[in-house]
Amino acid sequence: MSDAPLLALEDVSKRFVRRLDAAEKIVNLLGGNRREEVVHAVDSVSLGIREGEVVGLVGESGCGKSTLGRVVAGVHAPSAGKVLWRGRDVATMSGAERRDATLKIQMIFQDPMSSLNPRMRVRDIVGEAPRVHGLVSGEEVSDYVDAMLLRVGLDPAIKSRYPHQFSGGQRQRIGIARALAVRPDFLVCDESIAALDVSIQAQVLNLFMDLREDLGLTYLFISHDLGVVEHLADRVVIMYLGRVVESAPAAELFADPNHPYARALLDEVPRIDTRKRIFQPVKGEIPSPLTPPTGCHFHPRCPHAKPRCSAEAPALREIAPGRLSACHMNDG
Amino acid sequence: MIRETVLEVSDLKTHFFTKAGVAKAVDGVSFSLGRGEVLGLVGESGSGKTVTGFSLMGLVDPPGRIVSGSIRLGGEELVGRPEEAWRTLRGRRIAMIFQDPMMTLNPVLRIDTQMIEAIRAHEDISREAARERAREALARVGIPSPDERLAAYPHQFSGGMRQRVAIAIALLNEPEVIVADEPTTALDVTIQAQILYEVQKLCADTGLAMIWITHDLAVVGGLADRVAVMYAGRIVEQGPVDAVLDAPFHPYTHGLIGSVPSHNRRGHRLTQIPGMAPSLLHLPPGCSFAARCPRADAACNEMPALTELSPGRGARCHHPHLAETATGGAA
């Protein structure tokens, strides 16, 4: 594990804008005041992921974790900021270089049914990309697909079937085989096990851990399930409304969360070893990302909020070696 | 603690008669529920937990039907009732909360219209009185400014708030039993905790009995008094939550608990149950878990009975994990 990050995000933002439609433009011409709606899905996030590291990205729905995953995987271009792959800005790479870089970053989605083409046989789903990219020749494809399927624990004899002929867990394995087929260095797993049953989740999690060991893969593991992240990740990054609120080595974070939101989130994870507990939830809901609260986004729900919190957004600062948190309380 | 029994289910069988054969979705399920008690009904997809819930509500549609068994609510037999009799019962004495609250809510009607209708369907009271009761129900599940919210449409609520409205509707006629089918699965953790908090308070304060159907053992651990684990249409183990989760008897429960990631074994391989659940159309004659079970042998070709292994606890297994082996961890 070297110290230079394999992948780094520098002040990456992603905004989604809903443009005005014709009627609204006419209203504006007539003296109305309709504005474009802007969602800051990801708001100046900086993050470095070292080779071989598993980073867990946690947050509730609407916090921007999936958007961030898509920016990392190259599905969305960032609205601002830079994505660096092995120290080089992806945006300034030449076409061929960029293709190589993006091929090394593969994504595994939540719903294996909607991410596999229902009209393609498994051998084409897995074999198409490596053939197109010239990783294997036409004659080798068949053996290569067999090897990939074995790698993820599927019987190669099933490769002429279609996705609908498989169970959820098997489909997810096909999705993983497809990602592995282009020999990636980095996997972005976006809620990849959320749709599976508990016993199947364990099987797929074990597969991810085996792959990491055997192939030296680096992961960005996006999940709302803190138990899973705790088990798998070396470092955990917690997002709230587009911003990173805390980032820390997994063991330290789970032992002693710093940010009030991280603490609230950890307190509320149902655990199998806590029984008949009294639930003491944080108040309120996640505000709309269209109109986020001023200052610290968490202040309306925070039990420790002070006047400063609604006026000024706290910076993400180092509070201990390797630990970052964005909270005014750390200023004493 | 001895509780007055509100619901008694014995040997319930709900089968689906499809072209491909008979799917025994619920096959001989028995349990009882006391006042103020929360029973966690746990299982994976296809285990029959939802069909059990639907059977209790008389909501099984053809090709499915309740083949045999009995459901007694406050001593009264429900199986075999005509549809009209079910209708006077449903919503008044036994109510259901679904995973997706939009299944309960009509998107084109205001909340107050829907709630008043639900009350007046069972009781002859004025609209004003019904509205007042609807307001109280919303307040009870923790919806802020219930007066204004009554006039809103379902799409104006967030997911968590919609689920609260669905719970408020279930509470309107003060039923004895609520069947909750994965009501917090689609919600975020902080919102889930809020809902669990309200539910916990309700059961303690009002003596409402609840069947909480879920795949999430951790939620059951935090909420329920007793737990019943279902596999392939049958209850394979049931008992008090602490006892079952700390020292499960059945190898399936044992495997399920082992496969929950927990910080004790951080970074190590999880115990995994090999294979997957069998098709309900082609169940093996013996124990349906045998094919995936590390303890299976020839005896398992015969269906084990649900036997009481310790007071109040039973398991359906020929080779249960008894006290001395129950603490065995990762495989």
pLDDT digits (tens, 9 = 90+) for A164-212: 888 888 888 899 999 999 999 999 999 888 878 887 888 888 899 999 9
A227 vs B160: CB contact, 8 Å cut-off? no
pLDDT tens-digit readout, B212-224: 999 888 888 888 9
pLDDT of residue A24 exceeding 80: yes
Return the closest-CA partner of residue A204 out of A176, A178, A231, A166.
A176
- Its sign, for the CA torsion B185, B186, B192, B194, is negative
How close, in Å, is residue B194 to chain A by CA atoms? 5
> Best residue in A165, A272, A288 to probe B by mutation, most B CBs within 10 Å?
A272
Cβ neighbours for A115, distance < 8 A, ≥ 6 positions apart: A109, A175
DSSP A328: G
pLDDT attached to residue B164: 87
What whole-number distance in Å separates Cα of residue A247 and Cα of residue A263? 13
**Partners of A84 in beta bridges:** A8, A89
3-state class (DSSP) for residue A12: strand
Mean pLDDT of the residues in chain B: 87
What whole-number distance in Å separates Cα of residue A219 and Cα of residue A186? 6
What whole-number distance in Å separates Cα of residue A263 and Cα of residue A258? 7
How close, in Å, is residue B284 to chain A by CA atoms? 19
B270 vs A206: CB contact, 8 Å cut-off? yes
Neighbours of B15 (CB within 10 A): 21
Arithmetic mean of pLDDT, A73-80: 90
Instruction: Using CB atoms, pick whichever of B190, B221, B256 lies closest to residue A268.
Output: B190
Mode of pairing for the β-strands spanning B209-214 and A80-85 = unpaired
pLDDT attached to residue B93: 92
Collect all residues of chain A within an 8 Å Cβ-Cβ radius of residue B197: 278-281
3-state class (DSSP) for residue A221: strand
Neighbours of B298 (CB within 10 A): 9
When mean pLDDT is compared across A85-99, A145-159, A170-184, A272-286, the lowest value belongs to A272-286
Can you say whether residue B48 is alpha, beta or left, with left for phi > 0 and alpha for psi between -120 and 50 degrees? left
Three-state secondary structure of chain B: CCCCEEEEEEEEEEEEEECCEEEEEEEEEEEEEECCCEEEEECCCCCCHHHHHHHHCCCCCCCEEEEEEEEEECCEECCCCCHHHHHHHECCCEEEECCCHHHCCCCCCCHHHHHHHHHHCCCCCCHHHHHHHHHHHHHHCCCCCHHHHCCCCHHHCCHHHHHHHHHHHHHCCCCCEEEEECCCCCCCHHHHHHHHHHHHHHHHHHCCEEEEEECCHHHHHHHCCEEEEEECCEEEEEEEHHHHHHCCCCHHHHHHHHCCCCHHHCCCCCCCCCCCCCCHHHCCCCCCCHHHCCCCCHHHHCCCCCEEEECCEEECCCCCCCCCCCCCCCC
Q: Which residue does chain B place closest to A197, by CA atoms?
A: B44
Cα angle A151, A156, A159 (rounded to 5 degrees) comes to 120
pLDDT tens-digit readout, B7-49: 999 999 999 998 888 899 999 999 999 998 999 999 888 889 9
**Partners of A45 in beta bridges:** A12
Q: Using CB atoms and an 8 Å cut-off, which of residues 103-132 of chain B contact chain A?
A: none
pLDDT of residue A141 exceeding 50: yes
pLDDT attached to residue B174: 87
What whole-number distance in Å separates Cα of residue B90 and Cα of residue A325? 51
> Best residue in B145, B260, B271, B292 to probe A by mutation, most A CBs within 10 Å?
B260
What whole-number distance in Å separates Cα of residue B250 and Cα of residue B260? 16
pLDDT attached to residue B280: 84
Residue A221 backbone phi and psi in degrees, to 5? -105, 105
pLDDT attached to residue A1: 43
ipTM value: 0.73
Arithmetic mean of pLDDT, A26-49: 87
What whole-number distance in Å separates Cα of residue A8 and Cα of residue A72? 9
CB B167, CB B140: distance < 8 Å: no
What whole-number distance in Å separates Cα of residue A325 and Cα of residue A17? 29
Place of tokens 């639907």: B54
pLDDT attached to residue A195: 77
User: pLDDT category, B66, cuts 50, 70, 90?
Assistant: very high
The amino acid at residue B113 is T
CA dihedral A233, A235, A236, A242 (to 10 degrees): -120
How close, in Å, is residue A277 to chain B by CA atoms? 5
When mean pLDDT is compared across A165-169, A258-262, A280-284, B297-301, the lowest value belongs to A280-284
Percent helix, strand, coil in chain A (nearest 5)? 35, 25, 40
pLDDT of residue B264 exceeding 60: no
Distances in whole angstroms, Cα of residue A197 to Cα of each of A242, A267, B42, B271, B272: 29, 24, 12, 14, 12
pLDDT of residue B154 exceeding 50: yes
Ranges of H-type helices in A55-197: 65-73, 95-104, 122-132, 141-151, 168-180
Chain centre to alpha carbon of residue B307: 22
User: Given CB atoms, is A206 within the 8 Å cutoff of chain B?
Assistant: yes
What whole-number distance in Å separates Cα of residue B23 and Cα of residue B16? 5
pLDDT attached to residue A284: 75
User: pLDDT category, B331, cuts 50, 70, 90?
Assistant: very low
What whole-number distance in Å separates Cα of residue A42 and Cα of residue A71? 10
Collect all residues of chain A within an 8 Å Cβ-Cβ radius of residue B190: 60, 264-265, 268, 281-282, 285-286
The amino acid at residue B17 is F
pLDDT attached to residue B328: 41
What whole-number distance in Å separates Cα of residue A226 and Cα of residue B296? 34
Bond from prior residue into A78 cis (ω within 30 degrees of 0): no
pLDDT attached to residue A292: 85
User: pLDDT category, B327, cuts 50, 70, 90?
Assistant: very low
User: Given CB atoms, is A19 within the 8 Å cutoff of chain B?
Assistant: no
Neighbours of A227 (CB within 10 A): 18
Give the pTM. 0.81
Residue A23 backbone phi and psi in degrees, to 5? -60, -40
User: Given CB atoms, is A69 within the 8 Å cutoff of chain B?
Assistant: no
pLDDT attached to residue B330: 36
Arithmetic mean of pLDDT, A69-80: 91
How close, in Å, is residue B287 to chain A by CA atoms? 18
> Best residue in A209, A245, A275, A301 to probe B by mutation, most B CBs within 10 Å?
A275
How many A-B residue pairs are in contact by the CB < 8 A criterion? 136
A167 vs B276: CB contact, 8 Å cut-off? yes
